[in-house]
Amino acid sequence: MLQHGKDAEPAGPPADSPAPAARTGPTRRRLLTGAAAGAAALGAPALLTGCGTAKAGGSALKFWNFYAPQHSKDPALNAQSKWFTDMADQWNATHDVKVELLYMPPKTYQNGSKLPTAFAAGDGPDIFLASPGDFLRYSNGGVLADLTPHMDPAAIEDYHPDTLASRMVDGKVYALPMEIEPLAMFYDVASWEQSGLSEGDIPVTWDQMLDVGDKLTTRTRAGLVFETPPGYFQNFTWYPWMWQGGGDVLDKDGNVSFDSRAVRRALALWQDAVRAGITPRTMPAANDLISAFRNGNAGMWQNGIWQVASLRAFAPKHEYGVFKLPVPDGGEYTTTLGGWSFCANAKGRNPEAAAEFCAWALGTMEDDCIGRTVDWCTKAKSDVAPRRSALERGTEQGGYDFWAMRKFKDEIFPGGRAEPRFPPVVYKAVSDAVQGTMLAGRGVAGEAARAQQSIEAYMKSYQGASLI
């Protein structure tokens, strides 16, 4: 019998997951829209609102986010939405400039063109959420307000260094992380036992992972699930495999280094998994890990810490396990650390008030501010807290007592690396290489070389914040 964690009662509400110096070069509109044309062609849905709609000329600060309004049938979304509405209510009760929450579906916000198009048109939100992967789009576009003057210096030091560094330019903070979301491998206990596997079979190398994946694979079950749809999220999940062998898109000096043995090995790993029939070309169960595990449609699935809260909310009795991402021969363990951040629009209705709000919410040493981060990471969601004080308090309060949360905090997170902040052109070159090798079956060497050339050509005329 596998020795695995079994869900206990949640410690809190269950939840789901998930201005630079003046410069010449590309215009603000071009930088902001970037690769959005492809997303626009997909027909991104219109903006949905929760607590009212944006009013022309209104004085309230508009905060765009993708956490659905309360009264959803999803208790996880209700917990997250309540955290947002409680935060806005607390601010509005003590400040003259009010904050109004506006919502849009996650797919529209995260993968669509709505947000960059709004900024390019000069009609972006006053406050918004951004991932590290999209940070430079907005930083180079000149729409991020400097949050540093409104922050407590001690709070800047309180953030885990790498987490905040990816949101800084020239020593100034332009986005405040609300969470850290490491990636790991989840496995379905029932599928493992049906395949004759035990805890001793948990893979620590790539070859072992493919071997276990092969044993788990059946006509109705994918042995190993990697992200297949193109997008920032797929890149996010692929990066650790590249890093583990010593590869990178740019080296420590900023030189393009994509066409390397380590990168080719990482591309080949995903390609081999698909060719062998271990990894499916489309996501099982409509990309729903819980349904796939419940129905025996997946044995292993690379995913993030946010799934812990999802499993506790929707499958509290389902038995699963989590382990660190395996490494190649001679490689070193690492994982990607993602997470969203609060940003203020430097071109908005009231940039000073918007920046003040972001710092008030996440960037002071006030007890309420630290507690707000603890509540988000251990009650409204399941995340590693991005600040030392919040991680310590969350641990003291039992937020990481649950076996899976403890494993993420103590074993998976410490070997992590912040998600890269690449402009759209660089992201797209990487994405094309992953898609071309994984699903189109093109040669690994050719795709790595093609991406290298594309990134080198772009970097020759690039003018903006450092990519590393």
Choosing from 389, 411, 433, the residue where a domain stops is 411
Distance CA 433, CA 422 (A): 15
Same domain, 343 and 436: no
Q: Is residue 60 part of a domain?
A: yes
Same domain, 302 and 200: yes
Nearest to 210 by CA among 101, 59, 328: 328
Same domain, 160 and 196: no
Q: Is residue 1 part of a domain?
A: no
Query: What is the predicted pLDDT for the residue at 4?
Result: 43
Over the chain (468 residues), what is each successive 10-residue block's mean pLDDT? 38 34 37 40 31 49 89 78 96 97 88 86 95 92 97 96 93 98 98 97 98 98 98 96 98 97 98 98 97 98 96 94 98 97 97 98 98 97 98 98 98 96 96 98 98 98 95
Nearest to 126 by CA among 179, 55, 178: 55
Same domain, 192 and 332: yes
Distance CA 70, CA 77 (A): 7
Q: Is residue 452 part of a domain?
A: yes
Q: Are 362 and 342 in contact (CB under 8 A)?
A: yes
Query: What is the predicted pLDDT for the residue at 71?
Result: 66
Query: What is the predicted pLDDT for the residue at 306?
Result: 96
Query: Residue 337 region, left (φ>0) first, then alpha (ψ -120 to 50), else beta?
Result: beta
Q: Are 225 and 292 in contact (CB under 8 A)?
A: yes
Strands 222-225 vs 298-304: parallel, antiparallel or unpaired: parallel
Same domain, 71 and 176: yes
Distance CA 58, CA 62 (A): 9
Same domain, 174 and 286: no
Q: Which helix (H) or strand (E) holds 338?
A: strand 335-338
Same domain, 351 and 321: no
Nearest to 372 by CA among 182, 179, 217: 179
Q: Reduced to 3 states, what is the DSSP secondary structure of residue 323?
A: strand
Q: Is residue 99 part of a domain?
A: yes
Q: Is residue 429 part of a domain?
A: yes
Query: What is the predicted pLDDT for the residue at 359?
Result: 98
Q: Is residue 8 part of a domain?
A: no
Same domain, 104 and 83: yes
Query: What is the predicted pLDDT for the residue at 394?
Result: 98
Q: Is residue 280 part of a domain?
A: yes
Same domain, 90 and 147: yes
Q: Is residue 2 part of a domain?
A: no
Q: Reduced to 3 states, what is the DSSP secondary structure of residue 345?
A: strand
Nearest to 426 by CA among 298, 254, 176, 192: 254
Same domain, 400 and 312: no
Angle, helices 261-275 vs 232-244, to 10°: value is: 120
Angle, helices 444-461 vs 261-275, to 10°: value is: 130
Query: What is the predicted pLDDT for the residue at 113?
Result: 84
Choosing from 393, 411, 429, the residue where a domain stops is 411
Same domain, 304 and 432: yes
- Rg of the Cα trace of the chain? 22
Query: 285 to each of 18, 282, 290, 291, 319, how far by Cα in Å?
Result: 18, 9, 9, 6, 18
Choosing from 371, 390, 411, the residue where a domain stops is 411
Burial class (CB in 10 A: 0-12, 13-18, 19+), 386: buried
In 311-421, where do the E strands start and end? 320-323, 335-338, 341-344, 416-418
Q: Reduced to 3 states, what is the DSSP secondary structure of residue 366?
A: coil
- For residue 256, the enclosing domain spans 181-337+421-461
Number of domains in the chain: 2
Same domain, 274 and 199: yes
CATH code of the domain covering residue 269? 3.40.190.10
